């Protein structure tokens, strides 16, 4: 059994989608980041960085309880644990990890900054809005080019698509019109049609 500590955000939903896809049993623990529950001592004991998502696997690699944070690391862990959604072939595996890192380092953090300055900042900061919405559009352009040549980010559907999808699902928040990125739109609709993705996007209910 895996305990999933999460909230209704893109980083959290990467992990619930992955768990739904691979079919491992899991229990959801909602950590309301709007109420600062991520800073409670019991959660900081699992993730000292005070951010969701995190998991506790009661059947870890050496058969013992194992806790893990950082959504990218969790996706790799679950992929390796199940042999699913992370390619076995070395070249394909590194391509999948490359696009996972692209998401973790750019298509996530930059979109998150755009969300902050467009929706949450206490003052309007035009420089920051321009910087992060421009970067969001640039990143969608990179994805669109990749998805022109490949059906999914690593060729076959993989953990890289699972990482990127919940961020793309917030395209209206970062003011990106998918009609401007037709290959991303095609990919977004294909990923979003998967039943496991639809279930994972409802977590926590």
Ligand X SMILES: N[C@@H](CCC(=O)N[C@@H](CS)C(=O)NCC(=O)O)C(=O)O
Contact positions toward ligand X, by CB under 6 A? 9-11, 33, 38, 50-53, 70-72
Rounded to a whole number of angstroms, the minimum distance from the CB of residue 103 to ligand X is 9
CB of 186 to ligand X, least distance (A): 26
Residue 138 Cβ, how far from ligand X at the closest point, in Å? 20
Q: Write down the least CB distance from residue 76 to ligand X, Å.
A: 12
Provide the H-helix boundaries in the chain.
Answer: 10-22, 41-44, 71-82, 90-105, 109-115, 126-149, 159-168, 182-192, 195-200
Q: Which is nearer to ligand X, 44 or 125 (by Cβ)?
A: 44
Residue 69 or 183: the one with the smaller Cβ distance to ligand X is: 69
Residue 57 or 144: the one with the smaller Cβ distance to ligand X is 57
Judge whether 128 and 121 are in contact, CB under 8 Å.
yes
Residue 52: CB minimum distance to ligand X, A: 4
Adjacent-strand bridge partners of 29:
5
Bridge-based pairing state of the strands 26-30 and 2-6: parallel
53 or 200: CB nearest ligand X: 53
User: Are the beta carbons of 10 and 169 closer than 8 angstroms?
Assistant: yes
Residue 154 main-chain phi, psi, to 5 deg: -105, 20
Which residues is 3 bridged to in the sheet? 27, 56
Q: Which of 163, 147, 153 is nearest to 95 (CA)?
A: 153
Q: Which is nearer to ligand X, 13 or 146 (CB)?
A: 13
The alpha carbon of residue 5 and the mean position of all alpha carbons in its chain are separated, in whole angstroms, by 14
């Amino acid at each position: 059994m895996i305990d999933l500590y999460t909230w209704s955000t893109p980083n959290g939903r990467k992990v619930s989608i992955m768990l739904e896809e691979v079919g491992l049993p899991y229990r959801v623990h909602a950590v309301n980041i709007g109420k600062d529950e991520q800073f409670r001592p019991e959660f900081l004991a699992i993730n000292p960085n005070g951010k969701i998502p995190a998991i506790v696997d009661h059947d870890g690699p050496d058969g013992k309880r194992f806790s893990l944070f950082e959504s990218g690391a969790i996706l790799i862990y679950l992929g390796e644990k199940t042999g699913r959604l992370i390619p076995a072939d070395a070249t394909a595996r590194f391509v999948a990890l490359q696009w996972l890192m692209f998401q973790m380092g750019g298509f996530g953090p930059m979109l998150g900054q755009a969300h902050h300055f467009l929706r949450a900042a206490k003052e309007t900061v035009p420089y920051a809005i321009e910087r992060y919405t421009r970067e969001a559009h640039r990143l969608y352009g990179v994805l669109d080019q990749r998805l022109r040549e490949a059906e999914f980010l690593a060729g076959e559907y993989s953990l890289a698509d699972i990482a990127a999808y919940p961020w793309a699902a917030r395209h209206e928040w970062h003011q990106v019109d998918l009609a401007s990125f037709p290959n991303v739109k095609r990919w977004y609709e294909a990923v979003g049609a998967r039943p496991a993705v639809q279930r994972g996007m409802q977590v926590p209910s």
